[in-house]
Structure 1
Amino acid sequence: MTSEIETGSGLLPVHEWGSADTEAPGVLLLQEIFGVSDYIKQRAADLHALGYYVIAPEIYWRLDDTELDESSPELLPRAMGIVGRLDWDQAVKDSVTALEYLKARGRGTGVIGFCFGGGLGFNVAAVSSPDVLVSYYGSALPGLLELAPKVRATSLHHFGNTDAYLDVDAIVPGLGRDDRVEIHRYDGAGHAFDNPLPMFHHAEASALAWRRTEDFLARHLPTSQG
């Protein structure tokens, strides 16, 4: 189901899983650079099955010409071109608006982001303080580490040890060492290892990371199903 959230400068389209009227905690799910793809929708459905009310906003909604064909060999360069046109600060503001919508329900909130969304979620958590943050290999993290002291949410980060896009060794120390930050690294896994596309997917790392995500959420953002 889709709905819209007023941002003050237009209506942000969001995909919904579940009802805002339930007692379920709310999860803001932030997309990869490929948009709210079938993969992101599946992860949203997975989260909803755990007992959460989930919304996934269309972060590219202010841009023209954002159609993506996941079967195209030009998928990655095409997506990189789209995200290169995105106003990051505006994307953060839109995402914060979506999170504030969830926070107003008063039932607990989490932010979960993948790749582009992993970095965006980290920035959002520094601005608007959800209860929990789950970031999968946040692509913008190298430029956001100065925000780490402002991220008060209990956080979980996943990284592949063979990530060719991120210098994981340089990122991890900047995320903080206290008991609010949980970090897992996966041997043999590259960037975007949870994405089912063959050029990214690492089945073992994906399955283990998701089990850890489920456990983390059960401990820190429990639902009535927990």
Structure 2
Amino acid sequence: MEQKIIDLFDRYTHGGMNRRDFLERLTSLAGTAAAAAALLPILENNYALAEIVPENDPDITAQMVEIAPGIKGYLVRPKAAGTYPVVFVIHENRGLNPHIKDVTRRVAKEGFIAFGGDFLTSKGGTPADEDKARELIGTLSPQETVGFAQSAVDALAKVEGGNGKVGAIGFCWGGGAVNTLAVTGDPNLKAGVAYYGMQPKPESVSGIQAPLLLQYAGLDERVNAGIKDYEAALKANNKTYEIFVYEGANHAFNNDTNAARYNKAAADLAWGRTVAFLKKYLS
């Protein structure tokens, strides 16, 4: 698929245009309405593929819970008795959808208690309609987002079976949320992993306490524009961090329900680094 079509879809999914305008532009780029219609299933997520780790996997237990007042989400635990580090999984701008639930199960399979938070709890929860979910995400204020994240992390630090150490991993909008959470200096956040997330303002970096793993897609010009200033601020403030840029990969390269943007090589490498990083700082 031509990169300009993927870039158009990225602009659409991040609020750069409404669906009608997107479809008109897509038709123009594809040449015909029929060609545009054929591209849509490749560009959009297919949640029929969102079960790398099934919910009935014998090694885990999974359920929707409310871990603190107004903090609902998907809690997945290893079934074996023991004490485990805890990971807060933060969704993309589509909310707590089947793909993020699957990612949460994957985290649990790696030996963590994992909680996929639903930041749209106050809006009635994540709707099935992705466009509606994106619209609702756009209505959240920065205070609401940070408040939800901090409340979740603080509750997870005391969750039954946890070792008291909490990390956060976020994708796209969620990657930005990890960065925003980190700059608050929340003492209960012990590690953060941000996949292609927007960066915080450089002047806010001094508040960061947790080690960070920052992972970016080489073709993601929109997000990557902020890497240089962010890294300079991290260095200047002597923060612990690692940055990786996966050349040839698009924004959302980890999302294996999206045929147009998923990059298995980048996703596998980034996931291995993510698990090792979280085990290093949370075990």
Could you state the TM-score of these two structures normalised by the residue count of structure 2?
0.68
Which residue of the partner structure matches residue 53 of structure 1? 113
Find the residue that maps to 1:182 and give its secondary structure: strand
Match of 2:177 among 101, 117, 120: 120
Quote the RMSD (CA, aligned, Å): 2.4
Find the residue that maps to 1:54 and give its secondary structure: strand
Of 102-111 and 119-128, more deviation after overlay is shown by 102-111
2:113 aligned with 1:63, yes or no?
Answer: no
Counting only pairs closer than 5 Å after superposition, residues 21-170 of structure 1 correspond to structure 2 as 22-63=82-123, 66-69=126-129, 75=130, 78-105=132-159, 106-127=163-184, 128-129=186-187, 130-139=189-198, 141=199, 143-166=200-223, 167-170=225-228
Which residue of the partner structure matches residue 72 of structure 1? none
Write the distance in 2 (CA, Å) between the matches of 1:199 and 1:120.
24
Deviation at 1:152, TM superposition (A): 1.1
Write the distance in 2 (CA, Å) between the matches of 1:198 and 1:62.
31
| Number of aligned positions between the proteins | 211
What do the CA deviations read for 1:111-139 (whole angstroms, capped 9, x no partner)? 11111111111222222131111111113
C-alpha change, 1:66 and 1:27, in structure 2 (3 Å) is: closer
Deviation at 1:221, TM superposition (A): 1.9
Q: Percent identity?
A: 25
C-alpha change, 1:64 and 1:48, in structure 2 (3 Å) is: closer
Equivalent pair of 2:172/2:196 in contact (CA under 8 Å): yes
More helix by proportion, 1 or 2?
2
Write the distance in 2 (CA, Å) between the matches of 1:2 and 1:169.
35
Q: 5+ residue gaps in structure 2?
A: 1-62
Find the residue that maps to 1:191 and give its secondary structure: coil
Which residue of the partner structure matches residue 32 of structure 2? none
Equivalent pair of 2:86/2:164 in contact (CA under 8 Å): yes
What do the CA deviations read for 1:172-209 (whole angstroms, capped 9, x no partner)? 42451346101100101121111121232112111111
Q: Which runs of 4+ in 1 moved over 6 A?
A: none
Amino acid at match of 1:161: G
Which residue of the partner structure matches residue 220 of structure 1? 281
Equivalent pair of 1:63/1:86 in contact (CA under 8 Å): no
Write the distance in 1 (CA, Å) between the matches of 2:116 and 2:125.
20
C-alpha change, 1:42 and 1:199, in structure 2 (3 Å) is: same
